């Protein structure tokens, strides 16, 4: 059996000395790869030390990868030259790389990314410096779960000025992204409730609910938004909608349907409407429609919005406005949570809004997108594909619909466009239960379109659509 | 019935004109508070416009608070001078104020807040400027769900250097706080599993599990940490522990118990150990114990740690290290989530770690806390309360235990200290099933203690403890 002297141990702990001795033997090849080490008990007896000493030495060797353990068999020397676990890690690495490496597209009409030149970097930097200098104490104090008061006040002011909403800062809850807030809402409203999501709709919302294993039901839509009878049929308790601008159809819910929905919610206790107002800031023409929250007098609407869409992923801040009784319940049951947005980002954003930069930024972005949209529409109108393409829902938000007159399946069109560097999705892809009427409508998310690529993109459209039509 | 002329409407939409007319009448008192407005249908007929026009006008009036609706009764004029909803909001406000207003304590031994002077503001500011300047494109690109690669690489490097852990960046998931990561883990491991938490333990962990409505079981502890037989008895699938430094008992789990736990986990598929390493950086004396993760060869340990504790709430960044197979599963099922930490904060923190500032900061903080602890212990040892107070578990993390020789109930001691401005909690408070042996042990979280108050705090201890002993 292995034997080491403990005379040289001096001041260091015994296990540390033993660890060093074994490690040296492994490094110098005295102990061979996959050789079994003595059992703890017999080794301890042999060395005249306690079992704990051997145990601790083995643990540290294992921790550093010099030995490995097999259940009920003991400890073995690692083959350092040919570590199997490396293989596993390599696989893991490759897989992640594949997932994060994105193909460079000429244009990606499925992405809602904006380009970095539009972000007001210098103003943001100025405000950051000011916050670091002037808010030191506030920065180090744990924020309430719902977020720091100055930011909630700023948001309330913004909602008043921009959306005509009368909201108290106490009703506002700030969080790191709407997806996180959905999770909080599930905890607030109950995991046993049935959540209704729009069909067609934004897949992510459904995924969040499913991932939390809550009952979830798809709700049918007509030209005015979700069909109220479908809520009753599906046994829905909480319905998640975006009445200001539905994705992907672009529908703006008319007032009559809004009242119908509020009526549905009022009929039973525990019914709620989640109003996802994700891109109401970018309504390009016409007066913005009042939010559902602002016509709700029965505390049935939970309003949600995000700054990530308007300001980019540099900031990750969203918020929800709870009806008073839910805000109270939130403080009672969920305020043990820490706010997920750092104090620093909250203070900077509060100033950004309060000092008027946010409004100016939105206005500038609205013009920027307005021009981008017009340019794209003009190109389409002036191109040979104009007579086979119909444009609709182009006034609200950052996407419009393009209906193409063809009898080739959507998937084939998408595939061919993709091959040529243009990524696009069809409305049909967002349906779980697609309508019988087969139309070829594509979602044109133009926010990330680079103008210098526009001519090339149009050429691709012409090639693909022309080919299609010849086949007819 | 009300009648308005539409001749003056000119270019504005009809509903807008009608809205303006009614609003004027409300403002001028022509329409009295609580007066019922005509039903939509009859009003529309009377005015010769469509019902939609009236509906839209009413909606906008309601949105702006000029009228309110009662279900099945119709619309009524709001009493603008005496708005009932204001009353409700006031209540809401007061309640939140009470919750956020914290009493100013002479010393708060229940808080883990650090003071702002310790945060390296100027270095942080420098790195922020550099990131804003040099990472523009990265800042605007959506990060992978698990976080940006440079930060995960920096964390892997830190874990290697500081904890001897061999971890691939692909195993790391970054999130806005450990509480958020607990929620993600529940979605990853399953909501139907039984989660075990330590008794006594940190209440928040239990609250997070309960709030997600997952089965949850308290696990008994002895002097070495959680008792393995108690895991079996409670039907636990996933156990949540902090082996490096348990709160509140301060126990550092010995190696033998660690292996016992790993053995328990290996016995059945789907069993996991969540290792919460929340303050291992602040072990004040002795070599840090290797993490449980580093001796786990069967992919059973999920390691968690946070920067919020080491860097303050200015940043809200935590991370977990998943075993390879769970990392793979995570990418498959949960990567649709956006990362909850803003790109900006991720880039700054990555540089902070990579450029060696984090290590220096930890070292400085460790010295700072070391001195603070020694000062407090010295004061206690030299004071009249020394003979009735026993100190233990003072080497790891930022709290120690103080056992007081008295027969007065803990609650009374806490109440009296509170009255004198010293906030303290007893170990018994952290138990769900307290042990039979009644000891008076208090948790001394000294991180936020201000040295200039130390003499006063000691005087309070002397007064309260002396009074107690006279009563005996």
CA distance A52 to A59: 10
Model confidence at A180, pLDDT cuts 50, 70, 90, reads very high
Model confidence at B191, pLDDT cuts 50, 70, 90, reads very high
Query: In 3D, which of A192, A115, A2 has the Cα closest to residue B139?
Result: A115
- Which region, left, alpha or beta, applies to residue A251 given φ > 0 means left and ψ of -120 to 50 means alpha? beta
DSSP state of B153: H
Kindly give, in sequence order, each residue whose CB lies less than 8 Å from that of residue B362, ignoring residues fewer than 6 positions away: B162, B281, B310
Chain B nearest-CA residue for A182: B337
pLDDT score at B472: 45
**Is the per-residue pLDDT at A177 higher than 80?**
yes
pLDDT score at A145: 93
pLDDT score at A472: 45
Tell me which of A74-83, A115-124, B204-213 is least confident: A74-83
Tell me which of A299-303, A371-375, A450-454, B98-102 is least confident: B98-102
- Chain B hits for A207, Cβ within 8 Å: 336
Cβ <8 Å between B187 and A125 = no
- Chain B hits for A266, Cβ within 8 Å: 71
Q: Which residue has the higher pLDDT, A1 or A222?
A: A222
- Chain B hits for A308, Cβ within 8 Å: 338
DSSP state of B268: S
Chain A nearest-CA residue for B99: A331
- Chain B hits for A313, Cβ within 8 Å: 139-143, 338, 342-343
Residue A411's DSSP bridge partners are none
CA distance A169 to A160: 11
CA distance A395 to A102: 30
Q: B27-65 burial, b for 16+ CB within 10 Å, e for fewer?
A: eeeebeeeeebbebeebbeebebeeebbbbbbbbbbbbe
Angle in degrees, CA B80, B85, B90, rounded to 5: 115
Cβ <8 Å between A100 and B144 = yes
CA–CA min distance A406, chain B (Å) = 32
CA distance B291 to B193: 24
CA distance A141 to A339: 12
Kindly give, in sequence order, each residue whose CB lies less than 8 Å from that of residue A420, ignoring residues fewer than 6 positions away: A106, A460, A463, A464
Chain A nearest-CA residue for B161: A64
Kindly give, in sequence order, each residue whose CB lies less than 8 Å from that of residue B356, ignoring residues fewer than 6 positions away: none
pLDDT score at A415: 93
Cβ <8 Å between A255 and B55 = yes
Among candidates B71, B176, B207 on the partner chain, residue whose Cβ is nearest the Cβ of A176: B176
- Chain A hits for B290, Cβ within 8 Å: 59-60, 63-64
ipTM, two decimals, is 0.77
pLDDT score at A357: 94
Q: Which of A102-116, A285-299, B338-352, B381-395 has the highest mean pLDDT?
A: B338-352
B210: its two tokens: 């309960």
DSSP states of B145-177 as a string?
Answer: TT--HHHHHHHHHHHHHHH-----GGGEEEESS
CA distance A142 to A338: 8
Angle in degrees, CA B268, B229, B195, rounded to 5: 60
Best mutation site among B39, B135, B160, B314 for testing chain A: the one with the most A CBs within 10 Å?
A: B314
What ranges in B355-453 are assigned the alpha helix state H? 357-381, 410-419
**Is the per-residue pLDDT at B246 higher than 60?**
yes
Q: B193-228 burial, b for 16+ CB within 10 Å, e for fewer?
A: bbbbbbbbbbeebbbbbebbbbbbbbbbbeebbbeb
Q: Which residue has the higher pLDDT, B5 or B444?
A: B444
Please, what is the angle between helix A121-134 and helix B121-134, to 10°? 180
Cβ <8 Å between A331 and B116 = no
A310: its two tokens: 């308007």
Percent of chain B with pLDDT over 70: 90
**Is the per-residue pLDDT at A358 higher than 60?**
yes
**Is the per-residue pLDDT at B27 higher than 80?**
no
Q: Label residue B72 exposed, middle or buried (CB < 10 Å: 0-12, 13-18, 19+).
A: exposed
Q: What CATH number was assigned to the domain covering residues A121-356?
A: 3.40.640.10
Chain B nearest-CA residue for A262: B71
Asked, as a colleague might, if the bond just before B150 is cis with ω within 30 of 0, I would say no
Q: What is the overall mean pLDDT for chain B?
A: 87
- Chain B hits for A168, Cβ within 8 Å: 89, 92-93
**Is the per-residue pLDDT at B180 higher than 90?**
yes
pLDDT score at B175: 97
Best mutation site among A130, A324, A338, A346 for testing chain B: the one with the most B CBs within 10 Å?
A: A338
**Tens-digit pLDDT profile for residues B276-285:** 998 777 776 6
Cβ <8 Å between A125 and B124 = no
Cβ <8 Å between A59 and B259 = yes
| Range A7-80 classified under CATH 1.10.10.10 | yes
Chain A nearest-CA residue for B255: A56
- Chain B hits for A140, Cβ within 8 Å: 113-116, 119, 312-314
Chain A nearest-CA residue for B164: A64
Phi, psi of A339 (to 5 degrees): -65, 140
Query: In 3D, which of B146, B213, B220, B167 has the Cα closest to residue B186?
Result: B213
pLDDT score at B89: 55
Cβ <8 Å between B96 and A170 = yes
**Tens-digit pLDDT profile for residues B338-347:** 999 999 999 9
**Is the per-residue pLDDT at A84 higher than 50?**
no
* Radius of gyration (C-alpha) of chain A in whole angstroms: 30
Best mutation site among B83, B130, B140 for testing chain A: the one with the most A CBs within 10 Å?
A: B140
Cβ <8 Å between B324 and A290 = no
CA distance B231 to B197: 10
Cβ <8 Å between B255 and A92 = no
Percent of chain B with pLDDT over 90: 50
Tell me which of B33-47, B111-125, B389-403, B425-439 is least confident: B111-125
Sorted by where each begins, the domain ranges of chain B are 7-80, 107-111+360-471, 121-356
**Is the per-residue pLDDT at A338 higher than 50?**
yes
**Is the per-residue pLDDT at A20 higher than 90?**
no
Best mutation site among A342, A343, A352, A447 for testing chain B: the one with the most B CBs within 10 Å?
A: A342
| Range B107-111+360-471 classified under CATH 3.10.20.600 | no
A98: its two tokens: 């594949």
pLDDT score at B84: 45
Residue B174's DSSP bridge partners are B319
Answer yes or no: same fold for A107-111+360-471 and A121-356: no
pLDDT score at B142: 84
DSSP state of A31: S
Residue A425's DSSP bridge partners are A443
- Chain B hits for A183, Cβ within 8 Å: 183
SS3 (DSSP) at B299: coil
A108: its two tokens: 């990606």
Residue A172's DSSP bridge partners are A321
Cβ <8 Å between A340 and B89 = no
Question: Mean of the pLDDT values across residues A135-139?
Answer: 86
A284: its two tokens: 């390009």
Chain A nearest-CA residue for B134: A121
Among candidates A92, A132, A183 on the partner chain, residue whose Cβ is nearest the Cβ of B183: A183
- Chain B hits for A115, Cβ within 8 Å: 140
Residue A390's DSSP bridge partners are A403
CA distance A38 to B302: 30
Best mutation site among B60, B114, B308, B316 for testing chain A: the one with the most A CBs within 10 Å?
A: B316
A378: its two tokens: 């003009």
Neighbours of A274 (CB within 10 A): 24
- Chain B hits for A450, Cβ within 8 Å: none
Chain B nearest-CA residue for A202: B336
Cβ <8 Å between A255 and B56 = yes
pLDDT score at B102: 59
DSSP states of A74-108 as a string?
Answer: EEEE--GGG-HHHHHHHHHHHHHHHHH-----SEE
CA–CA min distance B401, chain A (Å) = 24
- Chain A hits for B99, Cβ within 8 Å: 144, 331, 335
Cβ <8 Å between B290 and A59 = yes
CA distance A312 to A371: 19
Q: Which residue has the higher pLDDT, B124 or A84?
A: B124
Among candidates A92, A204, A295 on the partner chain, residue whose Cβ is nearest the Cβ of B336: A204
**Is the per-residue pLDDT at A195 higher than 90?**
yes
Question: Mean of the pLDDT values across residues A180-193?
Answer: 96
CA–CA min distance A298, chain B (Å) = 9
Cβ <8 Å between B313 and A52 = no
- Chain A hits for B204, Cβ within 8 Å: 336
Cβ <8 Å between A295 and B258 = no
pLDDT score at A59: 83
CA distance B63 to B60: 5
**Tens-digit pLDDT profile for residues A30-80:** 788 888 899 988 888 888 888 888 988 888 888 767 888 887 788 988 876
A47: its two tokens: 């060395």
**Is the per-residue pLDDT at B459 higher than 90?**
yes
Model confidence at B272, pLDDT cuts 50, 70, 90, reads very high
Angle in degrees, CA A364, A369, A375, rounded to 5: 130
- Chain A hits for B312, Cβ within 8 Å: 139-140
pLDDT score at A250: 87
């Amino acid at each position: 059996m292995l034997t080491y002297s403990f005379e040289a141990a001096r001041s260091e702990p015994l296990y540390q000395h033993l660890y060093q001795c074994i490690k040296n033997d492994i490094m110098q090849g005295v102990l061979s790869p996959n050789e079994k080490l003595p059992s703890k008990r017999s080794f301890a007896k042999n060395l005249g030390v306690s079992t704990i000493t051997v145990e601790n030495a083995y643990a540290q060797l294992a921790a550093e990868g010099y030995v490995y353990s097999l259940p009920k068999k003991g400890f073995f020397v690692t083959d350092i030259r040919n570590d199997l676990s490396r293989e596993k890690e390599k696989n893991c690495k490759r897989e992640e790389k594949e997932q994060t490496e994105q193909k460079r597209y000429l244009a990606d009409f499925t992405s809602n990314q904006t380009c970095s030149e539009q972000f007001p970097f210098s103003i943001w930097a100025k405000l950051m410096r000011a916050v670091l200098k002037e808010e030191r104490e506030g920065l180090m104090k744990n924020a309430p779960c719902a977020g720091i008061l100055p930011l909630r006040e700023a948001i309330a002011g913004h909602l008043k000025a921009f959306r005509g909403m009368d909201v108290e800062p106490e009703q506002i809850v700030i969080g790191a992204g709407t997806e996180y807030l959905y999770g909080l809402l599930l905890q607030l409203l109950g995991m046993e409730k049935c959540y209704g999501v729009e069909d067609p709709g934004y897949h992510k919302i459904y995924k969040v609910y499913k991932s939390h294993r809550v009952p979830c039901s798809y709700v049918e839509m007509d030209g005015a938004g979700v069909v109220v009878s479908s809520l009753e049929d599906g046994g829905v308790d909480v319905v998640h909608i975006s009445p200001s601008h539905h994705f992907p159809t672009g529908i703006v819910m008319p007032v009559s349907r809004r009242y119908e929905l509020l009526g549905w919610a009022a009929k039973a206790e525990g019914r709620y409407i989640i109003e996802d107002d994700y891109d109401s800031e970018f309504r390009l023409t016409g007066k913005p429609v009042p939010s559902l929250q602002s016509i709700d007098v029965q505390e049935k609407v939970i309003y949600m919005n995000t700054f990530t869409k308007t300001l980019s992923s540099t900031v990750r801040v969203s918020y929800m406005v709870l009806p008073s009784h839910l805000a109270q319940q939130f403080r009672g049951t969920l305020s043990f949570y820490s706010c997920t947005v750092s104090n620093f980002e909250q203070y900077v954003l509060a100033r950004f809004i309060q000092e008027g930069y946010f409004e100016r930024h939105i206005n500038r972005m609205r013009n920027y997108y307005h021009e981008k949209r017009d340019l794209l529409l003009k190109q389409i109108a002036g191109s040979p594909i104009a007579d086979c393409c119909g444009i609709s829902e182009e006034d609200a938000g950052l996407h419009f619909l393009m209906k193409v007159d063809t009898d080739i399946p959507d998937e084939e069109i998408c595939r061919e466009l993709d091959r040529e560097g243009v990524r696009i999705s069809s409305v049909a892809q967002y349906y779980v239960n697609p309508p019988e009427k087969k139309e070829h409508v594509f979602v044109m998310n133009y926010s990330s379109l680079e103008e210098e690529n526009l001519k090339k993109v149009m050429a691709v459209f012409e090639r693909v659509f022309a080919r299609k039509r010849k086949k007819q």
